[in-house]
Amino acid sequence: MSTKISETLTFECETGNYHTFCPISCVAWLYQKIEDSFFLVIGTKTCGYFLQNALGVMIFAEPRYAMAELEEGDISAQLNDYRELRRLCIQIKKARNPSVIVWIGTCTTEIIKMDLEGMAPKLEIDIGIPIVVARANGLDYAFTQGEDTVLAAVAHRCPERVGKIEEVGDRSAQESFPDYRFGTSSTKSLKSSKDKPPLVLFGSLPSTVASQLSLELKRQSINVSGWLPAQRYTDLPVLGDGVCVCGVNPFLSRTATTLMRRRKCKLIGAPFPIGPDGTRAWIEKICYVFGTETQGLEEREEQVWKTLRNYLDLVRNKSVFFMGDNLLEVSIARFLIRCGMIVYEIGIPYMDRRYQAGELALLRTTCKQMRVPMPRIVEKPDNYNQIQRIRELQPDLVITGMAHANPLEARGINTKWSVEFTFAQIHGFANAKDVLELVTRPLRRNNNLENLGWTDLVKEVEGVSKR
């Protein structure tokens, strides 16, 4: 007897508290990406302690960030904020001479209503260095949204394109992702002219990964005219009417909105290039909008799947539960479903369905292809309720924030820190292996323990202790 599989995504919102890092942690990867920048975090000693601990692993590097600690005099408006920030910025200019200084506002600057946006233009003229203001405070849902705030602010500083490009065609950039796998899309060319609109990709990736993605598009005769952020602030891409933009991370909805509404760019609503399936779909959608037929992309994807065979044997039919932490959950869950895993629930702190429309469409396609039910997507999940569901479902793996990892491990449930996916290189064809390397590590550890006979020994020790 055949059972009917649900073909609709179920969205729920539990309005629970979200447990995540502070978004000022984005400094950790952004100061390395923008090589001629300097980040000044304006907050309390607590912010300084957090950065010191979060970035403590980088003590051998020479960081380009600093902490402007607010004292009681600042909070009670007894000191001149402009004079103090001017003194710090002049000191930064003498010591590092960066091309741009990024002020990172924190919760405290929000509470005491510091006018950072008002002071920055005056100080910028005063010292002769561009100053970008980004309010990456704890009011955001996820720590990765700190990057979103910074990139949205930097987008305003990109050079303006002069003139207007011919429209891409009837296939709008915001169009939902066409279902190539089931033959419902047309391959008709959108644009007969050889003049293609510029393509700008946004999202902070290591230079090697960005080069890989640019090369994949170049193989399809599509040139990337720039990245946001660029490796150097002085190389920011040109934006304006007719410029196509496409994101590489699902937590950049504010940046996407800024690029569309304020800079008049056309957003290509593609899935995100995570996993061989996501990377192929991302390239296909860009080619679809540009009216370019893909060449050898299916073979390229199949080649990558073959290299992942050992990992696929290990994860097939294993179950996974996402508690929600960094907004990468839907993309990673979709990839793991394609790998043969069972996803019980996708917890996510915040879901922008418009920006992730392409990813959600690919998730539906993947579930249909793998003949599995659609997973539940729980926005802003209540952790207490999630723990009850985890106890009931007993998944093979829980991908969670660091706050819940040890308590779950103590109860015999395998966990993986979601923050590791944020810092790992997981984009593009070449890095699909790294995603599965992270996912399978707890599973391989358990297999090794069983082979050594340690699992029975641990159970015996626990039994003795209970007596």
| Domain segments of the chain as ranges | 23-140, 180-295, 300-457
Distance between CA atoms of residues 30 and 377, nearest Å? 29
Distance between CA atoms of residues 390 and 197, nearest Å? 48
- In the Cβ-directed half-sphere of 189, how many Cα atoms lie within 13 Å? 8
Residue 53: per-residue pLDDT: 77
Residue 112 is given by DSSP the state T
Among the four given CATH numbers 3.40.190.10, 3.40.640.10, 3.40.50.1980, 3.40.50.10140, the one describing domain 23-140: 3.40.50.1980
* pLDDT tens-digit series, residues 419-438: 999 999 999 999 999 999 99
Amino acid at residue number 173: A
Three-state SS string over 52-111 comes to HHHCHHHCCCCCCEEEEECCHHHHCCCCCHHHHHHHHHHHHHHHHCCCEEEEEECHHHHH
pLDDT at residue 179 greater than cutoff 70: no
The residues, ordered by sequence, that sit 6+ positions from 151 with a Cβ below 8 Å of its Cβ are 202, 203, 204, 228, 229, 252, 255
* pLDDT tens-digit series, residues 247-256: 999 999 999 9
The reply to whether domains 180-295 and 300-457 share a CATH topology is yes
Burial class (CB in 10 A: 0-12, 13-18, 19+), 23: buried
Give the pairing type, strands 226-228 and 131-135.
Answer: unpaired
Amino acid at residue number 291: G
Residue 130: per-residue pLDDT: 96
φ/ψ (deg, to 5) at 167: -60, 150
pLDDT at residue 218 greater than cutoff 60: yes
Contact in structure between 41 and 106 (CB atoms under 8 Å): yes
Distance between CA atoms of residues 42 and 114, nearest Å? 10
pLDDT at residue 458 greater than cutoff 80: no
Residue 173: per-residue pLDDT: 45
Cβ-based neighbour number of residue 17 at 10 Å = 10
Among the four given CATH numbers 3.40.50.1980, 3.20.20.80, 3.20.20.370, 2.60.40.10, the one describing domain 300-457: 3.40.50.1980
The residues, ordered by sequence, that sit 6+ positions from 398 with a Cβ below 8 Å of its Cβ are 320, 321, 322, 323, 390, 404, 408, 413, 414, 415, 416
pLDDT band at residue 71 using 50, 70 and 90 as cut-offs? confident
The larger pLDDT score, comparing residue 64 to residue 284, is at 284
Amino acid at residue number 29: W
Among the four given CATH numbers 3.40.50.1980, 3.40.190.10, 1.10.3720.10, 3.90.220.20, the one describing domain 180-295: 3.40.50.1980
Tokens of 304: 């990558």
Tell me the average pLDDT across 391-399.
96
Tell me the average pLDDT across 205-232.
96
Residue 281: per-residue pLDDT: 97
> Which of 277, 295, 244 is CA-nearest to residue 432?
277
